[in-house]
Structure 1
Amino acid sequence: MQKEKFSSYPEFCEKYKIEVPDNFNFAFDFVDKTAAEDPTRLAMIHIDPDGVRAEKDFEFFSKASSRLANGLAKAGIGKGDRVMVILYRRIDWWVSMLACHKVGAVPVPSPNLLTVKDIEFRVNFAKIKSIIAEDSVADRVEEANASCPSLKVLIQAGKGKLAKGWLDIDGLCAENSDSFPRPADCAGGDDALLIFFSSGTTGQPKMVEHTHTYPLGHYTTGAYWHDLEPGNIHLTLADTGWGKAVWGKFYGQWMAGATVFTWDFRGKFNPAELLQIIADHKVTSFCAPPTVYRFMIREDLTKYDLSALTHCTTAGELLNASVFEAWQEATGKPLYEGYGQTESTLQIATFPHMTPKPGSIGKPCPGWDIALIDVEGNKCAAGEEGQICVRIDPAKPVGLFNGYLDEPEKTASVMVNGYYQTGDKAWMDEDGYYWFLGRTDDLIKSSGYRIGPFEVESALLTHAAVIESAVTGVPDPVRGQAVKATIVLADGFVGSAELTKELQNHVKKVTAPYKYPRVIEYVDELPKTISGKIKRAEIRAKDEEKYK
């Protein structure tokens, strides 16, 4: 694909269009096509858990995915069958995803932290037919298997011992041809491509279905938000069990001509190791959640040669101005923020031809007609708070999900009056930049004021004692709700009445005084989903009992 150049945001919106070929299938129409035209083009630089570097070209991914596709087909996996993929950042994940695309199966990328109960729920809810799992996860899959009647084919990756009835992914690939011609009934276009389970911050996760046109929506992500050019090396720090992996480690980056850099670390990331990886392997483009940058700026960045780094982006949660400023001061690189959901590709972003405003998620992407709508259904003027809504009439933008599978009521509840309602609130300034406020359920109503948790969390994070915080509302007989902060302290700090007073006064100075937390609780860690999102609903539920 050829990247067009635009000199301004208005020109970008006016001229940029995503062309959607008939019956598009990423595995055949991009990967195999690229392998045929430029077989040695570098697709991936991979660093395994032992630090060993491997380089893989498009010929490798074309042939390896065809071998696995043949193996899946022989095992009885075909068009429309759902395949749960529970793999770390090993190369097998990309091969498995492409193989599913080729046979028309529908992969369900899933995190390796799933419990037996999680696996049972998801397999039965989604009617999963096959699981491709990491050897360290296989025992949990095996335990769940007895309660999962739809499961027929189990495939293991890694060197662990195979349980009875399991297939080995390496053996499955080795015994099959590296040619897999496009089937006559090839999946593509509006057929199901993949399913994500939503993170479940407010209840049971939902099944989010995307079609084969979905990868095309991520060209905007790779070519324009990540600002990638052919030959660039891009690292998105994301787990392969969640949507951010295909946002930053797959479709858009390859279509933009870049090499995907994959660091297969296990467990929690170490900021010093990450910085060394970026420096040693000359990563040119980097994307991570603000929390990662927050940890990185606590390191001595002068120890690392980051001169190859040309562009930095962030998403997944809101960026605090203090983190933006510290990173830019240390590296000379601003952070370009973006916003989207499991249900979509990139919706709103700060692009390279725009001046970043610290804390703003940017402006709507070309092809995305975004409106802020208030509770009465009216469009909001500049400065007014409203729900982020995406126009879907007369047509949905490329990259927006089909709906929540098997839950038509939930789908109908968010597809209202020609708009998809995201459930997120924001306001827009006079320059057209959007400022995220949080989930509609997370807003705090106190003494007539509407307070977004992010505003208070941002203020708290500018204090040296705070490493992480979650702000919620607790019942208050006078105010309706009082602002509460649940705080994880940095090393060397201990919760006390004196520190509480200091933090309250700090917030009063940084933001409007009425927003300060009247209640502060210190904890060792915040409750989070397995994707790392704070479960404010869980905090609120506990506080309803505590403060009633």
Structure 2
Amino acid sequence: MAVPIIKKPANAAAANLADYQQCCSEFTDFCSDNAASDGPQLKTLPGGGLNICYQALDNHLKSPVADKLAIRWISKNDEILDYSYRDLCQLTSRFASILHTLNLSTGARIFSLLGRRPELYIAALGTLKAGCVFTPLFSAFGPEPIQSRMDIGEAQLLLTTRSLYRKKVKSWRQSLPSLKAVILIDGDLDDEPDCHLWSELMQQADPDFPCAETQPEDMALLHFTSGTTGQPKGVIHVHQAVAYHQLSAFWALDLKPSDTYWCTADPGWVTGTSYGIIAPLCLGVTMIIDEAEFDVERWYRLLQQQQVTVWYTAPTAIRMLMKAGLAIRNQYDLSALRFIASVGEPLNPEAVVWGQTAFSIPFHDNWWQTETGGIMIANLASQDIKPGSMGRPLPGIQAAIIGHQDDGTSQIITAPMQVGELALKPGWPAMFRGYLHQEEKYRHCFANGWYLSGDLAMCDEDGYYWFVGRKDDLIKSSGHLIGPFEVESALMEHEAVAEAGVIGKPDPVAGEIVKAFVTLKPGFTPDETLQKTLLGFARQHLGVAVAPKEIVFRRNLPKTRSGKIMRRLLKARELGLPEGDLSTLESDEQ
């Protein structure tokens, strides 16, 4: 069923990127002062060079932003800690000096294993200030994925809690020769070798430790991403990425210095670093950080109490809010919200429209990857929204749909709404510079001057891009190529469906049939009657060729920590195949 276009708002001219076409035509270079004449400028270090922390913090010290609230941290128990830009600058200098005292030289790999704690944010920026490389890990990881990532990344220091260290690190620590030190943010040391207490080190550290004079191409961030098989990949990003972090947030998230901004992503995920730490601080906004996990009432309460104006969250969370219904939403005054966006996986059209109903503004979906380092394609504040679309490429980003032929050749697809692989022309500052120790795998990401994303998509006549699925997710049934996202979105239009995951199941006649796994909203019974109703509903909306032939109910669907439904895991379990790397699995079927 077609979803009507949501027309651009009456105040579109006030958006940071008010004239999309003009900006695209006049764009020259991401790192020049002309990239956005009214937007963020890139500041080099006093002695030359470029450093992400300098851009995010030190750069503000001689401006009115210096004593402004930078981070408001809210604990699980509602304790509040406030940090100004000046506070963060001094604290990050202290941490940088700690690394120097521990003889961790430029380029040393610093890993964190923490939840959303203030120490993580200080350490992330302090690591960059010291010229070292920062790698965040999810605190929910088990011992094996932690060990494998620290081994691949040649970790030299780990920042964590006493509990996490004892449960997940202590048993194998001696097998990692590169690890020189551990800093615990709480508890006591119990005579652990080369362990240090955060509080003691920070008290003795230098609050005026200078920013390292790093160069644009020096490694700054190492993010790990999992494939379907094999070792996790260490994605390398450099200090020059900051030029794109701040500019893309200025354009795609419409961030202004007056905003109170909440990015709900964990820093263990690239969004939580690029747009949960770096970009908002570069732009001088006030950030809200909530230590607690998702809770419907808590989230609405924080949005109201903190007067959040820009909110960046994930499709899974949005669908859970939808599932909870409007009655609870209507108990809160959320009129401060002016821009809301989604990231992690494509946002279903009905969720975009629900934003308009629930908040009087639609959710703005966007697309990017760990490898791209920043938002590539977005629905902008000043533009019409086509619900279900990823939006249009940001100025300076050249995207295309590439068709791969059976004979091994490829060509750009120019006809609208034809499925192919989404590709980008390399050159933006946040583009990854490699997979650590996997040079061949990195080279395979590029062909004929394009970065190949591995995502299948379409582009319409207006230049809006539409996600179809990962290359491996595409379903081939009776000669039809079916994208799972289309089927999932159609199922979600039914009032009973909370979430859906779709796979291709082998069939001797059709090659594959479409099978859907569905979770229900409260008040609906997972019985045969509803199953038949949903099958008929899907046929009516999608046609017999595309609609699922089988629907099964689940209490939960397996998802990554970034909220993506793990279709390949659904398929592996359906077919009894190896499940592959499950280190990023957060929720599972029950």
Same-fold call, TM cutoff 0.5: yes
Are 1:197 and 2:224 an aligned pair? yes
**Residue of 347, 365, 380 corresponding to 1:337:** 365
State the partner residue of 2:182: 154
Are 1:362 and 2:391 an aligned pair? yes
> What secondary structure sits across from 1:223 in the alignment?
helix
**Amino acid corresponding to residue 411 of structure 1 in structure 2:** Y
The verdict on how the C-alpha distance between 1:305 and 1:4 changes in structure 2, with shifts beyond 3 A counting, is: closer
The verdict on how the C-alpha distance between 1:6 and 1:278 changes in structure 2, with shifts beyond 3 A counting, is: closer
| 1:11-30 paired onto structure 2 within 5 Å | 11-16=22-27, 17-19=29-31, 21=44, 23-30=49-56
TM-score (norm 1): 0.94
Q: CA deviation at 1:252?
A: 1.6
State the partner residue of 1:378: 411
Q: CA deviation at 1:202?
A: 5.1
State the partner residue of 1:275: 300
Q: CA deviation at 1:10?
A: 0.6
State the partner residue of 2:38: none
The verdict on how the C-alpha distance between 1:449 and 1:15 changes in structure 2, with shifts beyond 3 A counting, is: same
**Amino acid corresponding to residue 122 of structure 1 in structure 2:** R
State the partner residue of 1:174: 203
Deviations 1:248-277 (A, max 9, x none): 212221222211111111xx4111210111
**Amino acid corresponding to residue 84 of structure 2 in structure 1:** D
Q: Structure 2 regions of 5+ residues with no counterpart?
A: 1-13, 33-43, 578-590
CA distance in 2, matches of 1:162, 1:354: 58
Q: CA deviation at 1:163?
A: 6.0
The verdict on how the C-alpha distance between 1:237 and 1:5 changes in structure 2, with shifts beyond 3 A counting, is: closer
CA distance in 2, matches of 1:25, 1:534: 36
Which structure exhibits the higher relative contact order, with contacts defined as CA atoms closer than 8 Å and separated by 6 or more residues? 2
Q: CA deviation at 1:375?
A: 1.1
Contact 1:387/1:423 (8 A) holds in 2: yes
**Amino acid corresponding to residue 282 of structure 1 in structure 2:** Q
Contact 1:201/1:536 (8 A) holds in 2: no
CA distance in 2, matches of 1:433, 1:426: 10
CA distance in 2, matches of 1:118, 1:51: 31
The verdict on how the C-alpha distance between 1:312 and 1:127 changes in structure 2, with shifts beyond 3 A counting, is: same
Q: CA deviation at 1:477?
A: 0.1
Contact 1:369/1:390 (8 A) holds in 2: yes
**Residue of 214, 229, 237 corresponding to 1:210:** 237
**Residue of 157, 173, 177 corresponding to 1:145:** 173
> What secondary structure sits across from 2:366 in the alignment?
strand
| 1:103-502 paired onto structure 2 within 5 Å | 103-139=130-166, 140-159=168-187, 164-165=192-193, 166-183=195-212, 186-201=213-228, 203-265=230-292, 268-297=293-322, 298-300=325-327, 301-344=329-372, 345-376=374-405, 377-380=410-413, 381-392=415-426, 396-502=427-533
> What secondary structure sits across from 2:170 in the alignment?
helix
CA distance in 1, matches of 2:69, 2:314: 26
| 1:17-96 paired onto structure 2 within 5 Å | 17-19=29-31, 21=44, 23-38=49-64, 39-96=66-123
Contact 2:314/2:563 (8 A) holds in 1: no
Moved more, 324-333 or 537-546: 537-546
Identical positions, percent:
31
Contact 1:46/1:91 (8 A) holds in 2: yes
CA distance in 1, matches of 2:261, 2:220: 24
Contact 2:69/2:286 (8 A) holds in 1: yes
Q: CA deviation at 1:154?
A: 0.5
Contact 2:419/2:457 (8 A) holds in 1: yes
Contact 2:314/2:344 (8 A) holds in 1: yes
State the partner residue of 1:9: 20
Deviations 1:161-184 (A, max 9, x none): 66613211122111111011244x
Moved more, 104-113 or 459-468: 459-468
> What secondary structure sits across from 2:261 in the alignment?
strand
Contact 1:391/1:418 (8 A) holds in 2: yes
Deviations 1:72-120 (A, max 9, x none): 1111212111111112111111110111112211111110011111111
> What secondary structure sits across from 1:128 in the alignment?
coil
**Amino acid corresponding to residue 314 of structure 2 in structure 1:** P
Q: CA deviation at 1:334?
A: 1.5
Runs of 4+ in 1 over 6 A off after TM superposition: none
> What secondary structure sits across from 1:368 in the alignment?
coil
Q: Structure 1 regions of 5+ residues with no counterpart?
A: none
CA distance in 2, matches of 1:398, 1:457: 34
Moved more, 295-304 or 20-29: 20-29
Alignment length (residue pairs):
537
CA distance in 2, matches of 1:116, 1:434: 39
Q: CA deviation at 1:8?
A: 1.8
**Residue of 513, 518, 521 corresponding to 2:549:** 518
CA distance in 1, matches of 2:176, 2:107: 18
**Amino acid corresponding to residue 517 of structure 1 in structure 2:** P
Q: CA deviation at 1:199?
A: 3.8
Moved more, 314-323 or 524-533: 524-533
Deviations 1:497-546 (A, max 9, x none): 22221111111122233221112222232223344432222222233349
